[in-house]
Structure formats: C-alpha cells, structure tokens
Amino acid sequence: MKHVARKRFGQHFLTDGGIIDAIVREIAPKAGDAMVEIGPGLAALTQPLVERLGRLTVIELDRDLAQRLRGHGQLDVIESDVLKVDFAALADRFSPAPLRVVGNLPYNISTPILFHLLGFAHLIADQHFMLQKEVIDRMVARPATSDYSRLSVMLQWRYAMDNVLFVPPESFDPPPRVDSAVVRMVPLAEPPAVDAARLGEIVQVAFSQRRKLLRHTLGKWLDEHAFAGDFDTQRRAEEVPVAEYVALAQSVPK
C-alpha cells in the first residue's frame, strides 16, 4: 500500500535516482562501517547504503514505516524520536568502530537534531545530512556575512563542514517549497576545550539582538559575570569569529 507523506513528521521522500547516487558517492559507505541512518522513510537511500554496508541501523519515528522497514533482513530498526536516542549507547554497540551518521532530516526539527548530536561528536567519524539549503548556508557561513549565526558558531567550534550537493525540490515527493542540500560534517580531531553550555549561553546572548552592538547585550552579560578581560563589544555578533567566542567562553569566571 502506498505510504502517504505525513506533514506532522515533515516527510518529503527522495525519489530522484541521480541525486540518490550522488549522495551515496559523497557518503562513500564501506562494508562493515558502523552507520546509522536517521529518517529512512521509504528506504530510497537506505537500500543502496545497505547493499554496500552489509548491515545498517535506522531510526524511524513513523510507526507504519518502521514496521515496513523491519521486513528488511539487513536493517536494525530503532522506532523512536531521534532526539531521545542515546548515541553513546549505539557507539558502545559498535565499538571500537566510530559511528557514521546519515539522513534526510525533517526540516521542522533539523536544528534540534544537530544540537542533540553535538553532544556525541567525540564518538562520530562523520555525518552526512540532507537539510534545507538555507540551514546549511548558516551552518557553513563565515563571519561578517548575513548567514553567520548562533548555529554557525556552535557547529564550527566542533566540526569541519562542507556543502557538498545541491538538491532541487523536484527530487522529492511531495516537493518541499524550499531548496535542499547535503552537508558533510567531520568532527575536529582536537577541538578547543570549552564548556559547551557556557559557550552556548554566550553565543545565544550575543545573537539575541544581532542588529545591535554587543555592548547592549553581551557587554551587559559580561559585566554581570565579572569578566575583567579584553573583548571588543563595539561590534555586532556576526563580526566575531568562532575562535573569539570560544576564547571568551574559556575565560569568563564560572
């Protein structure tokens, strides 16, 4: 029976064979890789992946799709909201091989998924995700550009990222109203040692009113936290490089 895409799950199923082949080439799966796919849907990407891997773990929230996927002999199906999945437990299952994570992420919760995975980056070899192109533009944005944002800082602190493939709306059924793209995310081997929660708090305050100079937002926050160092607050949030936000998070008193 044909599966009807469910709006509440943000379902848009990939149907373009050429795009699927291109994504698989970018992922470059190898037999035995410890790979996890988020949101396999109708298995358009799942099938070519598992043919190369031999076995694949998939995370699917939709009960009907999960039941259908269980009929595939080479898939281990986790029926769950990905935001509730403990990737550390998954990593233990595959140890010592690091996880490789892939997926066509639901656009309505893509950012929460990226932040959820941030906490497990030390266990992951790489991530390949299809997302709304606008989100990927923000992920890879450089300072002093309109796309540079909280998302840029929080992900670039921990990953090297590349926009590797453009995916037009007609590649899906039903077609989304936005362009899509595929991003490659490789965790940095030696990321700066920083309290992620403190960094997140600083970046959130900084970008809370991005059109204002930082003295109106982050400057006040720094005063409240007894920061006695040097930090130029006569800039806007988008003008501060990732390394400066990290250094600030490392030096603000707890």
Q: How far is CA 80 from the centre of its chain?
A: 18
User: Angle at CA 15, nearest 5°, toward 87 and 50?
Assistant: 45
Task: Give every residue of the chain whose pLDDT is below 70, as ranges.
Answer: 1-11
Q: How far is CA 241 from the centre of its chain?
A: 20
Yes or no: is domain 7-187 CATH 3.40.50.150? yes
Return phi, psi of residue 190, to 5°.
Answer: -135, 75
Domain boundaries, the chain: 7-187, 196-251
Reported residue count of the chain is 254
- The tally of CA atoms less than 13 A away on the side-chain side of residue 129 is 23
Q: Is the peptide bond before 48 cis (omega within 30 degrees of 0)?
A: no
- Position 157 scores a pLDDT of 97
- Position 11 scores a pLDDT of 59
DSSP state of 5: P
- Position 173 scores a pLDDT of 86
Q: Return the closest-CA partner of residue 167 out of 177, 158, 180.
A: 180
Cβ proximity of 241 and 216 under 8 Å = no
Return phi, psi of residue 56, to 5°.
Answer: -145, 135
Position 42, amino acid? L
Interaxial angle between packed helices 17-27 and 46-53, expressed in degrees from 0 to 180 and rounded to the nearest 10? 40
Q: What is the CATH number of domain 196-251?
A: 1.10.8.100
Rounded-to-integer distance, Cα 38 and Cα 81, Å: 10
Cβ proximity of 34 and 97 under 8 Å = yes
Q: Which two tokens stand for residue 208?
A: 């809370």
Q: Which two tokens stand for residue 187?
A: 């965790």
Decide the pairing of beta strands 159-167 and 99-104: unpaired
